[in-house]
Amino acid sequence: MHKVVYLQVLPPAVLEIVRSQLPSGFELEALQEPSRDEVLRRVGDADFLLVATTAMTEEVIAAAPRLKLIQHQGVGCDNVDVEAATRRGIPVALTPEGTTVGVAEHVFLLILALYKQLRTAEGALRRGEWLQWALRPRSYEISGKRLGVVGLGRIGQAVVKRAQAFDVAEILYYDVVRPCPEAEQELGVAFRSFHDLLRRADIITLHTPLTEDTRGMVGAGELALMGEQAILINTARGALVDEQALYYALVTGQIAGAGLDVFASEPPSPDNPLLTLDNVVLTPHIAAGTRDALQAKMAAAFANMLRVAQGKSPIHQVAPAP
């Protein structure tokens, strides 16, 4: 029997979905509380670790002598000490399955909530105010707008596909790895430098991993390049954006709005000034947080563990930094 420890405190209904995908020959337990002592105690006899937001430090990895695989349930592993795992000979793998559709859909949820003034309209209606006409001067359609996609990986491409259904005027993209001209033509996208994209796009959506190169990639200088009617969408990693600079850009009217599913610190502090703004739509890192996505993720994660248990290499393995 292979023991899997899910390093997360899960509601019973969520744990039930996870268990429904558990293969024969595996047993699963989750954290009861999010404390360091609890984590170190649980990993001691784990064969496999399933990781979401808990920090996989060198200390945690050292406390797991039986460990065969660290399986991250997402596509970013900035909370995992990959070098420490590599020194122990423990592979780290990602789970891109189940992420793409939910995040791509969520991008348009945030765009439409901003463009249609959803927070203001619903709040007023619940207070007995009927703003049928008042919101029109600052409500917009996606159709005819120029979309800027930063990061043209799986999720970026899924956003592009959905944007075309909204009849956008043009789709610009920036990525450090540029596909061939034929791929660009097939996707219907045009490459621009990062700063040129910021200048041109009405909607900028971020889909890059968090690395030392991308941390704070949208700061005061970048926000100053965006137009007054532009909106910024971030469903990737909070630390890609300088939140203080974003707050300034939003309160001064430098940009029109922002839709954020991720934050530099999660959950954000109650005194985070972004929480006070009407031109920001906020969600608690739930872009990929659907039942459909969880089922797909868990099936893929457990399949990868089964591969390792059978002596095979995991898929979607993370390479250590050079």
Catalytic residue set: 237, 266, 285
Contact 67, 88 (CB under 8 A): yes
Q: Give one DSSP letter per residue of 81-148, joined into a string.
A: -HHHHHHTT--EE---TTTHHHHHHHHHHHHHHHHTTHHHHHHHHHTT---TTTTGGG---STTPEEE
Determine the 3-state secondary structure of 4 from DSSP: strand
Q: 213 in the Ramachandran plot: left (φ > 0), alpha (ψ -120 to 50) or beta?
A: alpha
Question: Residue 239 is encoded by which pair of tokens?
Answer: 């630390």
Question: How far is Cα of residue 203 from the mean position of the Cα atoms in its chain?
Answer: 17
- The residue assigned the tokens 């649980």 is 42
